[in-house]
Amino acid sequence: MAMEKETILVIEDETKIADLIKLYLEREGYSIYIVPDGEEALNAYKEHHPDLVILDLMLPGLDGLEICRLIRQSSTVPILILTAKDEETDKVIGLSIGADDYITKPFSPKELVARVKAHLRRSKYWQVQKEEILGDERLKINTGSRQVWRNGIEIKLTALEFDLLKTLASSPGRVFTREQLLDLVWGVNYVGDPRVVDVHIGNIRKKIENDPSAPELIKTVRDVGYKFESLK
């Protein structure tokens, strides 16, 4: 019995780029749906239930940031932003509203394929992890239900944010470099910017720390990386 193909929704209004993405990803065995318009994108997302979304920021109708925000209201599907915007603020905004990663045009199709594979592997791997309760009385993490509570109040994290927090909390006190976190959470074949770790750590801190500017749970180890500071 043949395995069902993983589905990727490409939201891109430049035909040549969309066709190039489709060519390379179909070679890898994925089912590809292309939507050139922001308004159509949400309907296509609901119809196809994709395993991953590749999302341009500059679109007719709804822009990519708004589409990302709306998808994140109900789904943890991996979202990879593909954009001609190279400003750091655009990347940070995209990641802060729930995107998992970004790649800037012009891009290498092989790099795009590698990123897609890494995010799909990450998504499948973390879905089958055994249930544990991590953290302490300040923060509890249920790895089975993928729920997080801060002082008894449930906190909503994206799938990647949860995976990153779980990795840190699984080894309290251990210092992880950015490269180690990329290998463990994004995947060993990830070829993107290591600073993506910093942005996601910042997003998590805003959600779980009493004062994100003076974090008690996720500590920065200067010139090295990050660690989870447990009371245990």
Domains belonging to the chain, first-starting first, are 7-127 (3.40.50.2300), 133-228 (1.10.10.10)
> In the chain, which ranges are E strands?
7-11, 31-35, 52-56, 79-83, 101-104, 133-135, 139-142, 147-150, 153-155, 176-177, 218-221, 225-228
Query: pLDDT (tens digit, 9 = 90+) per residue, 102-148?
Result: 888 888 999 999 889 988 887 776 555 566 778 777 899 888 888 89
Query: pLDDT (tens digit, 9 = 90+) per residue, 149-207?
Result: 998 899 999 888 999 999 999 999 999 999 999 888 887 667 777 888 999 999 999 99
Report whether 149 contacts 140 (CB < 8 A): yes
pTM for this predicted structure: 0.71
